[in-house]
A = this chain, B = another copy of it.
Amino acid sequence: MLHEEVVGRVRAMLLDGEIPPGARIPERDLCEKLQISRTPLREALKVLAAEGLVQLLPNRGSRAARLTDKDMRDLFEVCQGLEALAGELACERITDAEIADVAAAHAEMARHYGDRDLLQYYRCNRYIHEAIVAAAGNPVLSGLYDSVTARIRRARYVTPMTPRRWALAVQEHEAILNALQRRDSVGLSHILRAHLRHKRDEVLQAGFAETEPQDEARAS
């Protein structure tokens, strides 16, 4: 089905920053870039608008959603709640094999921390969080989590990671893994919340772009 394909591709373009926040999205240009007609593209844009990644202006086309400071705060707030819930549920339902998988990812992440390889570290980090959410065994939760994290990730142009914060994050991840292994749902929930609160502060303090009026950026 062409429509799904288009949604995926455009979403990827948005998440990769190929279409920067606030950029207008001329249908015609994207059509010829994707080699499709306007109909499936417009369907895709409507879906992405429902997901909150695109903003539809009546008779004036669509633009990549731009996030205010408040939006970011709200997203993190919800993300905290979702991950805390996921953590609780995961403790009840996670299998030993899944725990082992998370532990392995954690170990790999620790190695990348040792190497100060930020990119690989982030990859493992994300994998772990997603694994915990998946272990909750709740597709509805997973879906909302994906939607929220996608919007958050969209904004992370560059988050400067101070040595201090990084060390704290690793420490928190130790606690996360520990709580998971003990299947301590309450503990895990609290740690995840704190972990995300810190990440939020990190992102918000960075300013995460968006304040600059890159008004007429184009999606070329």
Contacts and interface: CB of A to CB of B under 8 A. Distances in A.
Interface of A: 1, 3, 39, 42-44, 46-47, 49-52, 56, 58-59, 71, 74-75, 77-78, 80-82, 84-85, 89, 138-141, 143-144, 147-148
23 contacts: A43-B46, A44-B46, A46-B47, A50-B51, A52-B140, A52-B143, A71-B140, A74-B138, A74-B139, A74-B140, A75-B140, A77-B85, A77-B89, A77-B138, A78-B82, A78-B138, A78-B141, A80-B85, A81-B85, A81-B141, A140-B148, A144-B147, A144-B148
A78 B85 contact: yes
Nearest to A88: B81
Number of copies of this protein chain within its complex = 2
A148 B139 CA distance: 12
A58 to B, nearest CB: 5
Contacts of A80: 85
A1 to B, nearest CB: 5
B77 A141 contact: yes
A74 B46 CA distance: 26
Contacts of A138: 74, 77-78
A75 B141 CA distance: 8
Contacts of A141: 74, 77-78, 81
B3 A140 contact: no
Contacts of A49: 47
Contact of A81 (B43, B46, B82): B82
